Amino acid sequence: MKNVSIFSGMLAVLIALFGVRAVADDHCNLSLGAADNMQFSTKAMAAPVACENVTVTLNHTGVFPKNAMGHNWVLTTEADFKGVAMDGGSAGLKNNYVKEGDTRVIAMTEIIGGGESTSVTFSTEGLTAGTAYTFFCSFPGHWGIMKGTFTLS
Ligand code: CU
């Protein structure tokens, strides 16, 4: 009888752990859209502090190819944003408009065109909860408008 109650107790703990984990995982997956109007579908993204990793999926809902209306999702600190964006302008499409080996970049996707999707998974280790990081599209001429905040909260 004692063994049975220990077993069911452990089972309850396991269910609780996996149940919480499943919810946390769900909230660690974020997505946003961008179309030919040069706008992201959101200006503020947030993930729970509990997320060890965050996955961001970018859906390009437009029709123009990536060399004309390409979009990506790049994450930096607010302070690094402009420098990374300006340096990225001359890096070219082959480098997804991000300077090669730019250590200021926390996470980034490739540049995609209309109808395409891409995603990036990055560790939240080293990010500060409550700090508003900047996400943006580094395609030349886009980052003035295509930007927003990313926060662990
Ligand atoms: Cu763009």
Give 52 Cα–ligand 1 centroid separation in angstroms: 28
Compute, in angstroms, the gap from residue 117 CA to the centroid of ligand 1. Answer: 13
How many helices and strands, by DSSP H and E, does the chain display? 3, 8
pLDDT in tens, 8-38: 555 454 444 454 445 556 899 999 999 999 9
Residues with CB under 5 A from ligand 1 (ion): 71, 137, 139, 142, 146
pTM above 0.75, yes or no: yes
Instruction: Report pLDDT digits (tens) over 33-64.
Output: 999 999 999 999 999 999 999 999 999 999 99
pLDDT 10s digits, 107-152: 999 999 999 999 999 999 999 999 999 999 999 999 999 999 999 9
